[in-house]
Structure 1
């Protein structure tokens, strides 16, 4: 065996080990969610006259009429208006700003404590807007809602009560619901993935006593925790994860309330979903680079906490490692290099874990939609997530190389030109690589199609959906559970 082959085998084995660890992390969380008992969270109750002041921040950027819907929900919150402040943090550069101005003016005439803050320069994007808003209020508690979410009336009663009853908590994260889950197969798949994150990962971390990542919206912060952690910072694309981890390092805890659901709108096109996932992946890797040294230097965190945090924030690196393993494995598939039995065994184990672990993780999220749709959603989630390999790997690699990009928000469903019109440049790479892998495997090593099946189908699916902008998969489903 040539020295070059030995070197490639070494790095390939290392990649397989890392991918296996990421899969085992998902399995461990699923098992913890299944077998550990639920945790109770104490909650204080208030008379209206005793309610503390709460600031509700609504960050916006070209959100159109969504501001009217979220404001209607905020006004319906069961909280005395005398103790409620509302900030519309609108950095819009289109006609959305005028809509916000009219909505705020109407509520001011009703005597509500509401203000509109518009920055001419979007410094630090969402993080900068939230930080700027805090300078205009001294409320001890801060609720944050993105424009496409609708908080239920009891949101503040339950979250403020929990922070008051538990003074060591920095923030409360609640579960996302899905207003348009049944709009298409794509939205069903996204809902399944998000349900797995909230109902499995977040709930498991809460039961294990691990730090919880803040999800950017549908949560309540203690202002003192924000300030002691260093405030909002826009040096990553996931300012929510960054602040929540820094708060934990500063000694604060966090909590998750699974049965407090805040419904929101899912992206309706493959392109919009891809943009969202790229941003989240890149932001996580940016936080991994920034925070891991602090995590491992922390004297207050036990080693197993440090390991679980590392796997949590570093999970998106699986896309980068996956691409690297794919490239290194091609010569072995083609017969140009001969792998050792140990590498073959590790490849088999990693592939098996990479298939079983996500399925167990997704199944643990529940089957309220019935087993037929559960199976469809799970297989669709596994396949289409594989199809994001190239895009997410690029996001992770850009973060590793220190390449900074602007915060690009997820296109909304009402944005016809952005979210539904065909964009023929998008999807070509995924479609081309998927076809190339299929042809390579059939010519060089037909058995490799078994290992590459999910990836090939996922790339072809994501590529085709972007080329036609998901018109087939976005067609409203005729079958309902």
Structure 2
């Protein structure tokens, strides 16, 4: 029994060290963003005769009326019509396809070079749709927009100019904006998290000369880089991260334009946000398994970059490690097992870093919104991200076990079809786990409630929000209105 207890303690210490290293990775990126000088990205001024052909791809799946909005934005792009190709890659299985067909037909009558591609079989999901579209075009540059974003008119002038001026760039990624940032506390928290990613993490990687992950939308690719990297691959749920890293391993660089903002819509429900985060987490871990060996075999990358890239794609494994540490730590919290001094020191350091690192990271993404608003958003982000612990850990574990799931789009509006989701998958698990953890702490070690407050609050909060969403969607429309 003592040997088993010692083994558990060693594994717990190892898990806590891994979590501490993940926090230090955030600290490193935050400090790099704060102290590293900015890197201007040269942009060529193109004459009318120099404008190359550009393909704009719009991958869609059950997006409804959003297709009309994105097409309107694409038609407003400042680019010669005779050098602009548009592909509506609509794999929808609901009434959205009819909307796309009508919108494309209207533009065709106006002489626009646009086509609609609809696949009956969603082979390789979004990656498959993008690859199928590329087979029908020879344009040297490819812009990609999801349906819920609205590119500004100068998007192509600036991004194509950047790739023309920098022939070693595979693609340039722009920054996401948020159309519905102030709709609710949930959307404000999401906006804060995404602002941290683009304004701190992406900017820091750009300043350090590290590979930038393509974010799947609001970017412009060089067709030659896509082909040389092996093309789009649907064997992970984050085909964007996969292709961008393969392009880097093939010798291409990536660019970031933080001052070019493309606004988009954020998920409005906790259930939709959980779906999105699950897919991203699982996809990142799938890329970690697939690409980490290639990264470490690369002779071109220095050791420090290999380490940073590994943390970049392996960071979501922190959810899996976090659940393991929580389970292993319960006997120590209850006093059934007494840990050594080493465990106490590691646990204390990990806890401090676990709070300090994300607070620094999230604070730097601020917009001078006042202390009260900033504090609410940061604490909310910490709590609700903690509330995704079980869902994201499941995503990471499924990736580690090789369990395949389909690409599930992120619903931006409250879709009544989600009401059919089984209750145990719609918040009850998180709510039950949060209440069970609270009960355990109160019974076994009341002081542990303070230590676990963020996790308990996050689980209960995410669970409650999902249950409320489900109950509201289950009611007849006449009652909800």
Distance 1:141 1:222 in 2: 5
Q: CA deviation at 1:412?
A: 2.4
Q: CA deviation at 1:422?
A: 9.4
Q: CA deviation at 1:361?
A: 0.2
List, as ranges, runs of 4+ consecutive aligned residues in structure 1 with deviation greater than 3 Å: 418-425
SS of the residue corresponding to residue 411 of structure 2 reads coil
Q: CA deviation at 1:418?
A: 4.0
Distance 2:366 2:470 in 1: 27
Q: Does 1:137 align with 2:115?
A: no
2:238 counterpart residue number? 238
2:416 counterpart residue number? 417
Q: Is the 8 A contact 2:62 2:95 kept in 1?
A: yes
Distance 1:323-1:302 versus aligned 2 partners, 3 A rule:
same
Q: Does 1:114 align with 2:110?
A: no
1:479 counterpart residue number? none
Q: Does 1:248 align with 2:220?
A: no
1:99 counterpart residue number? 99
Please give the residue correspondences for 1:112-191 in structure 2 after superposition, counting only pairs within 5 Å.
Answer: 112-191=112-191
SS of the residue corresponding to residue 139 of structure 2 reads coil
Q: CA deviation at 1:411?
A: 1.3
Unaligned runs of 5+ residues in structure 1 are 473-481
Please give the residue correspondences for 1:346-365 in structure 2 after superposition, counting only pairs within 5 Å.
Answer: 346-365=346-365
Distance 2:363 2:356 in 1: 11
Which TM-score applies when normalising by structure 1? 0.96
Distance 2:146 2:277 in 1: 17
2:19 counterpart residue number? 19
1:393 counterpart residue number? 393
Q: CA deviation at 1:397?
A: 0.2
1:336 counterpart residue number? 336
Distance 1:418-1:359 versus aligned 2 partners, 3 A rule:
farther
Q: Is the 8 A contact 2:418 2:470 kept in 1?
A: no
* Superimposed CA distance per residue, residues 142-184 of structure 1 (whole angstroms, 9 cap, x where no aligned partner): 0000000000001000100000000000000000000000000
Distance 1:4-1:201 versus aligned 2 partners, 3 A rule:
same
Q: CA deviation at 1:423?
A: 7.0
* Superimposed CA distance per residue, residues 271-298 of structure 1 (whole angstroms, 9 cap, x where no aligned partner): 0000000000000000000000000000
Distance 1:330-1:454 versus aligned 2 partners, 3 A rule:
same
Distance 1:219 1:69 in 2: 18
Deviates more, 1:417-426 or 1:452-461: 417-426
* Superimposed CA distance per residue, residues 37-68 of structure 1 (whole angstroms, 9 cap, x where no aligned partner): 11011111112232000000000001011000
Unaligned runs of 5+ residues in structure 2 are 473-481
SS of the residue corresponding to residue 231 of structure 1 reads coil
State the aligned residue count. 471
1:436 counterpart residue number? 436
Q: Is the 8 A contact 2:59 2:90 kept in 1?
A: yes
Q: Is the 8 A contact 1:387 1:460 kept in 2?
A: yes
SS of the residue corresponding to residue 116 of structure 1 reads strand
* Superimposed CA distance per residue, residues 311-337 of structure 1 (whole angstroms, 9 cap, x where no aligned partner): 000000000000000000111111111
Please give the residue correspondences for 1:295-310 in structure 2 after superposition, counting only pairs within 5 Å.
Answer: 295-310=295-310
* Superimposed CA distance per residue, residues 119-160 of structure 1 (whole angstroms, 9 cap, x where no aligned partner): 111000000000000000000000000000000001000100
Q: Is the 8 A contact 1:56 1:143 kept in 2?
A: yes
Distance 1:195-1:470 versus aligned 2 partners, 3 A rule:
farther
Q: Is the 8 A contact 1:57 1:130 kept in 2?
A: yes
Q: CA deviation at 1:446?
A: 1.4
Q: CA deviation at 1:338?
A: 1.0
Q: Does 1:195 align with 2:195?
A: yes
* Superimposed CA distance per residue, residues 357-392 of structure 1 (whole angstroms, 9 cap, x where no aligned partner): 000000010233332211111110000000000000
Q: Is the 8 A contact 1:193 1:381 kept in 2?
A: yes
1:219 counterpart residue number? 219
* Superimposed CA distance per residue, residues 71-112 of structure 1 (whole angstroms, 9 cap, x where no aligned partner): 000000011111100000000111111110111111011111
Q: CA deviation at 1:416?
A: 3.7
Distance 2:24 2:37 in 1: 21
Deviates more, 1:362-371 or 1:263-272: 362-371
Distance 2:471 2:203 in 1: 35
Q: Does 1:314 align with 2:319?
A: no
Q: CA deviation at 1:346?
A: 0.4
Distance 2:369 2:423 in 1: 35
Distance 1:445 1:111 in 2: 72
Distance 1:180-1:419 versus aligned 2 partners, 3 A rule:
farther
Distance 1:397 1:98 in 2: 38
RMSD (Å), alpha carbons: 1.4
Q: Does 1:450 align with 2:450?
A: yes
SS of the residue corresponding to residue 326 of structure 1 reads helix
Distance 1:117 1:315 in 2: 36
Distance 1:304 1:274 in 2: 33
Distance 1:400 1:422 in 2: 25
SS of the residue corresponding to residue 58 of structure 1 reads strand
